[in-house]
Structures are given as C-alpha cells and as structure tokens.
Amino acid sequence: MPDDPSRRRKPARAAVAFSEALAEILCARVAAGESQLSICAEPGMPSRATLWRWVKTRPAFAEAFWIARVAGGVEQSGGPPSSFCQATADEVFRRLCEGESLTAICADPAMPAFSTLYYWRRRKPAFAEAMRVAREIQAERYCDKGWEIAQAITPESARADRVKLAHLRWTAAILAPKRFGRLKPVELDSHWQGGGMTVYIKKYSPETKHPTEDRLLEPGEVAFLKHIPPPERDPDDEEEG
C-alpha cells in the first residue's frame, strides 16, 4: 500500500523550558492583543498545552498571564478578545443623535460593522442603554422633520409628502414606541377604576364560540365574558384623609 502523506504523523515539537524572560515575552504579547494560537505556533514558543501547564503549575505566572489576558481584551470567563472601544461607541451615539442612520454609520470604513455593534449591545449594558437613548432622540428629530415637511407642502408635492410623513411617523413609532407608538402601555391601576374590570369577547375567527350560548359569534358581535371585581384593600393601607 503506497504511503499517504496526509496520514504521516507530524514531527514532535522540541520541548521549551520555562524561563522568566520567556514568561515576560508571552505576557507582553498577550496583553498587546495577540492570540495564543499565533504566539504558540512560532518556533521557540511553547505549545498551547505547555502554556496551560505552566498556568496550572506556576501561580506567579498564572497571575501575570490572567492580568495580561484582561489587558488584551479577553475576560476571565474566556471567549474572543473584545473589540469594544469607548471612543468609537461615543461617536456612534453622537452620529445617531444627529439623525444619521445606523446603516450609514456602519458603511463608514472607520466605523465598526453592523454585527460588531449588535455584539457590543449584547455584551455592554451601558452601550445598549446609550443606543436606546439615541434612538429616542432620533425619533424626536424625525417628528421635527415631519413638521418641516408639513409646513412646506404644496398642492404639487402633497402626494409625495404624504408618503414621507407616513414613513416618518412609522419610523418614530418603531424607534420610540412608548412615546410615539399607536398602542400605549396602560397602567394596571386604571383597569380597576369604576369598581373593577369588565371583560368582553369579540369574534376574531370563524370558530369563536359564544361564552354562554351554544353557538358561534356573529361577525362583529361582542359578548359579555365576565366581570372582575377590584381587589380588596386593607384599611390599614389607606392614606389618612
């Protein structure tokens, strides 16, 4: 049977002895952001197995190595190096507040990709909150822009301006649904005003049955379902006066 080169075993690497000088070089390169894979692949460097054996058996080196990993952007829990940059995050926030779209920002060669920003949002709660605030500011800017368009409408541009205004209204509702959305959240206490809450059922599908009668609801018919009384209050909880 002919010898298959792909089945040949790779020659064993020469063993690398631990030294303080080599440990300093390793920690410096890890702190600079280099990956362990690229460092350990170079001649004269320990293999990854050897490197982690040093981490397990040499407490002083392990402490310096973990500090270097954090400095290089790798968290204690492991994972890929973080590319988060606070200056870039602040620039993204500023440009969003100025009304620039996220697509246009990510198209800038100096800015991160779309996927990078969404990764930052998942891993950095402060950045996610900044993005939410920037979106609300964008929604307010779109409202101002809609007012400017409405003020400049002419009989010739009315049809096109109507499309623009509808899209601006939709975008503002998506960016800030609590302020500009068509459906507003309702506080729970408002349901109990007037002695409780009455629940009705309406025909939503051909199979919607009447809650008390053995028949299907007619199109547009609304039927009484039940009345939920207000919760009992403890007299001690009532405010004086």
Closest CA to 117 of 76, 80, 85: 85
pLDDT at 145: 82
pLDDT at 241: 36
Q: Does 124 lie in the same domain as 55?
A: no
Q: Cα separation of 100 and 76, whole Å?
A: 36
Q: Does 130 lie in the same domain as 161?
A: yes
Q: Does any domain span residue 1?
A: no
Instruction: Let me know: does 211 contact 224? Beta carbons within 8 Å.
Output: yes
CATH number at residue 107: 1.10.10.60
Q: Cα separation of 146 and 161, whole Å?
A: 9
Residue 68 has pLDDT above 50, yes or no: yes
Give the count of beta carbons closer than 10 Å to the beta carbon of residue 27.
Answer: 19
Into how many domains does the chain fold?
3
- The number of residues in the chain equals 241
- In Å, the largest CA–CA distance within the chain is 101
pLDDT at 5: 53
158, 180, 202: which is the final residue of a domain? 180
Q: Does 201 lie in the same domain as 176?
A: no
Q: Does any domain span residue 214?
A: yes
Residue 228 phi, psi dihedral angles, 5° rounding: -100, 115
Instruction: Let me know: does 65 contact 29? Beta carbons within 8 Å.
Output: no
146, 163, 180: which is the final residue of a domain? 180
> Which tens digit of pLDDT belongs to each residue from 117-152?
888 888 888 899 999 898 888 888 888 888 888 888
Q: Does 104 lie in the same domain as 37?
A: no
Q: Does 207 lie in the same domain as 138?
A: no
Q: Does 126 lie in the same domain as 96?
A: yes
Q: What's the pTM value of the predicted model, to 2 decimals?
A: 0.44
pLDDT at 163: 87
- Tokens linked to 117: 């920003």
Q: Does any domain span residue 131?
A: yes
Q: Does 107 lie in the same domain as 135?
A: yes
Q: Does any domain span residue 15?
A: no
Q: Does 192 lie in the same domain as 176?
A: no
- Provide the domain limits for residue 218: 188-230
